[in-house]
Structure 1
Amino acid sequence: MRSRTFRSRGGLRGFALVAAAGTLALGGPTAPAVAQTVGPPLLDPSKVATGGLTPLNYKQKQGCMRGNPGNSLIEEKPWSQLVLGFERAHEEGLRGTGQTVAVIDTGVNASHPRLRGKVINGGSSVPDGGADRDCDGHGTIVAGIIAASSDPTGQSGYVGVAPDAEILSLRQSSKLWINEATNATIGDTETMSRAINNAVDRNVSVINISQSSCQSIAQARNYYDSGNQMLHNAVKRAYEHQVVVVVAAGNVGEACQKNASGSPTTAVLPAWFDEYVLTVASVNQQGAPSEFTVPGPWVDVAAPGENLITLDPGVGGEGLASQIATGENGQAGPIQGTSFAAPYVSGLAVLIKEKYERENRPLTAGQIMDRIKETALHPGGINGRNDIVGYGMVDPAAALADVVPGEWGKQAPPPKPTKLDADVIPQKDFPALIIALGGAGAGVAGIIFTAFLINAVRSVRARARENSGR
């Protein structure tokens, strides 16, 4: 069976980025504001090249996104940055130093000043350049959330979660390159698998996958599907090599249908392989779940994914962007998607890994994932989780604390009260109560009868003695 495709969502014709300086017109389709979804098969598996598959019969149908020629300035800090509070970790010296995050996506525009010098070209499946180039803009936004440097001028408060971390860019997909025969775009479960193995071989700390393949549950369970099997093996291998794999929960639309809580019909890959990955849903500024998040039992935690401020992702971009225009009319709208919630969690995983390596007590991938889940702001529900936001929005301060709930010593249970309180008696168990009272009454009657009998015997013996004395 052929591998499943990752492709961008929607047939968008034009877009713009809106920043504080004004509207930025771009010469291509929108940067995918949502996790990318499944489409038809696309690559010739016999044409294998280093870093991925080399596509045949693919042509670039639209121009690359172009950055704003001016350095757009947005002074305020993003709400996501304020609510997560990860800058407190920076003040304590936790900035991702010595850590590398693999961003498996559409590439990263390494020329952006906030990313300059920290992007490693890990290989590309797209034929127009290496992984330090991003025509779509999607991967650049993701990389910026993880590792954007602070503004050297001090005019902007925007900064990445782990600003000293390096980014290994693996360019495994693009919606701008179309196969003329199948109308498919570049990127599928096989190229994704190869990218994951590539990242593991390069000893990265964390892998961020802000793309998803939505399939029916039956398809996801079909391990004869070579692409799905490869993807399963790749994330399992990463987990066993102590690499934390963070993935987007996926967004409703096209192949991704909104699952009923507790009864999914659509599987989201790689999130489907939940034992080995940490799956991230999106919440809005009010802390409510985003309407576009695909629910499922694989959802682990949530992070901000709406109304985001990001790096200008266009080629040559230097500033920030607060909106993105999508659709035929090119109307501006907020930047949102589980694609952009996931990198906040990837950055947090980096900081946790850095902290415990510095203290010479490194954590396994499973321990880091558990720490993030245990310290999240749990929603109501069985065991403090649900299928929409998992264990809740991540809490960096709690996750970076010295002790988390799962590590607390268990206290001895309090002694049981010796006094029988009124509310202990089963109020509705009348037969048992009657039997108990009857038994107690019989016991009392027996005692009284015994006392009477003893007294009678004594009286008889006393009269006998009196008669014998006469």
Structure 2
Amino acid sequence: MAHLRSRRTLALAVPVVMSLTASIGFLPAASAAPQAESAARALGQTAADADSFSYVVNIREGEAPSRALKKAIGEFGGTIVTSYDRIGVVVVHSANPEFAQHIRTVRGVQSAGATRTAPLPAQSTTDVGTPKVLSASEVAAADAVDGKDPLEPLQWDLPAIKADKAHEKSLGSDKVTVAVIDTGVDDTHPDLAPNFDRDASVNCVAGKPDTSEGAWRPGAAESPHGTHVAGEIAAAKNGIGMTGVAPGVKVAGIKVSNPNGFFYTEAVVCGFVWAAEHGVDVTNNSYYTDPWYFNCTDDPDQKALVTALTRATRYAERKGAVNVAAAGNENYDLTADEITDASSPNDSMPGERVVDPSECFDIPTQLPGVVTVAATGAKGLKASFSNHGLGVIDIAAPGGDRTAYQTPDAPAVDGRILGTLPGGTWGYMAGTSMASPHVAAVAALIKSTYPKASPAVVKTLLYAQADGTSCTDPYDIDGDGKIDAVCEGTKNRNGFYGWGMADALAAVTKW
């Protein structure tokens, strides 16, 4: 599977697309170079960079690269892109295939690793595709009723977490910002423009901040994923379209997905550091960091990626942000003795490998302090695709499912989640990608209710206020007579729903 935690369809297998680098080996020489150079320009890179790999070099936190380290990086064929001194992460490009193993021997280097397995850039294996877009006639037929936005009756997910009742008390504070670390956000959308925080928005794709006007928006051919997520969180209650879970808070776009659809470590690190330093209260992370679904700490490259992102997420939390992430869409039991990962590395040639979940981590989802979110469908059951695991899943929220598996009550008609799409439209998507923003929005409502609450307090309230949900046992979601997943734990803490279903009404009600 690819990195985004939403699904165009709910099939568990998708075709894998070869990387651009692998593909151009089959092209005539005359056509390969211009394609690589054009793609590099799209990433703000030089043609030389197109033959390079990107690395993170981890040194002591709070320190800048020493003169000796800078010299060594140059001698080993590397060029420093940027350095995040507060967390001791240096981003480097190098065409030297032995750069990482050489730089690890330098004094002061704690770990170092390649952030990808194919040279810059590569082609995505994304399974998101185009969501089901509401037609003009469907939008026109919707009418605002009883103070609701026109499309709100289609949003079965709002009453599922009592967000409709919460809105009678509070829409959330415009002093609270949720950053969507994702594929970019179209801030010109009429449902997003009223609540968009431009100052907290940025493009981090190159591993360092690009603050040029509109850099946070998705390109015309890029995924609508981030825009959809942003609408679920904070689509304005303005008589237009749909309503977000927290329609009074601000939403920012931190673009970390490159034009080919990959979320690489250096971009995600940049995103968390930017959020930390620009007053963000909550980050939403509906992806996994490419190219490894699970990053195994017995591999020096993958271990370095885990270290860099652990530092970045912890820094964001120290600066006041609650980090919320999607659990993933493979119906994995993340506490199993072993898991077969057939999708990694997804930027070159994936191969089947068996991993130990106690040593191999989905990042940022399984990093310390990150809120891990499972998805439910319209009947309140674990979504057929949602990953699970006692002690891994913290909380659950609507992410949608096949309508045939979990049919919503009328007037809703689709078992997926409605969201905003680039170009001023709306459409349905499903996945733990859609569950995570519901929880991020509830966290924002808690922060609105308790403005001085630390991230630890917000998370404590998030879990304490959740509606305990018992294990679904037996769990045969497709009705074929076979058990599709096994849930362990009690009503108030289990592997399907964590502490329970997120509760928006409790979030705006002072205890």
| TM, length-normalised to structure 1 | 0.63
Question: Please, which of 168, 179, 191 is the counterpart of residue 102 of structure 1?
Answer: 179
- Aligned position for 1:196: 272
- Aligned position for 1:387: 495
- Aligned position for 1:436: none
Answering whether residue 326 of structure 2 is matched by residue 248 of structure 1, we say yes
- Aligned position for 1:325: none
Question: Please, which of 155, 160, 167 is the counterpart of residue 78 of structure 1?
Answer: 155
Question: Please, which of 142, 154, 169 is the counterpart of residue 92 of structure 1?
Answer: 169
CA gap 1:7/1:83 in 2 versus in 1, 3 angstroms = closer
- Aligned position for 2:195: 118
- Aligned position for 1:465: none
CA gap 1:164/1:399 in 2 versus in 1, 3 angstroms = closer
Question: Please, which of 319, 337, 349 is the counterpart of residue 425 of structure 2?
Answer: 319
Amino acid at match of 1:44: S
CA gap 1:341/1:169 in 2 versus in 1, 3 angstroms = same
- Aligned position for 2:447: 353
Q: Residues 1-400 of structure 1 correspond to what in structure 2 (within 5 A)?
A: 6=3, 10-11=14-15, 44-45=54-55, 46=79, 48=81, 57-58=120-121, 70=136, 72-73=138-139, 74=142, 75=151, 76-119=153-196, 120=198, 121-125=201-205, 130-134=215-219, 135-152=222-239, 158-174=242-258, 177=260, 185-213=261-289, 215-216=293-294, 218-219=296-297, 225-252=303-330, 257-259=332-334, 265-266=356-357, 267-274=361-368, 276-296=369-389, 297-306=391-400, 307-314=415-422, 316=423, 318-322=424-428, 335-357=429-451, 362-380=452-470, 381-382=489-490, 384-400=492-508
Q: Deviations over 1:240-289 (max 9, x none)?
A: 22211111111118xxx444568774432212224x11111001111111
Q: Deviations over 1:81-102 (max 9, x none)?
A: 1222223333323423211111
In the alignment, structure 2 segments of 5+ residues that lack a partner are: 8-13, 18-50, 56-78, 85-90, 94-115, 143-150, 340-355, 401-414, 471-488
Structure 1 residue 224: deviation in Å? 7.3
CA distance in 2, matches of 1:97, 1:365: 18
CA distance in 2, matches of 1:258, 1:42: 36
Q: RMSD over aligned Cα, in angstroms?
A: 3.7
Q: Deviations over 1:412-459 (max 9, x none)?
A: xxxxxxxxxxxxxxxxxxxxxxxxxxxxxxxxxxxxxxxxxxxxxxxx
Amino acid at match of 1:231: L
| TM, length-normalised to structure 2 | 0.58
Q: Percent identity?
A: 26
CA gap 1:68/1:294 in 2 versus in 1, 3 angstroms = closer
CA distance in 2, matches of 1:373, 1:192: 26
CA distance in 2, matches of 1:12, 1:150: 40
**8 Å CA contact retained: 1:279, 1:299:** yes
**8 Å CA contact retained: 1:110, 1:133:** no
Q: Deviations over 1:186-233 (max 9, x none)?
A: 322232112101111001111111112464574389797222101101
**8 Å CA contact retained: 1:271, 1:277:** yes
CA distance in 2, matches of 1:165, 1:227: 32
CA distance in 1, matches of 2:454, 2:504: 18
CA gap 1:308/1:65 in 2 versus in 1, 3 angstroms = closer
**8 Å CA contact retained: 1:72, 1:319:** no
CA gap 1:171/1:50 in 2 versus in 1, 3 angstroms = farther
Structure 1 residue 42: deviation in Å? 8.8
In the alignment, structure 1 segments of 5+ residues that lack a partner are: 14-40, 178-184, 323-334, 404-470
CA gap 1:313/1:50 in 2 versus in 1, 3 angstroms = farther
Q: Which has the larger radius of gyration?
A: 1
CA distance in 1, matches of 2:299, 2:122: 34
Amino acid at match of 1:299: I
Structure 1 residue 392: deviation in Å? 1.4
Structure 1 segments of 4 or more deviating over 6 A?
49-56, 59-62, 64-69, 126-129, 220-224
CA gap 1:299/1:351 in 2 versus in 1, 3 angstroms = same
Amino acid at match of 1:356: Y
CA distance in 1, matches of 2:439, 2:457: 14
- Aligned position for 1:444: none
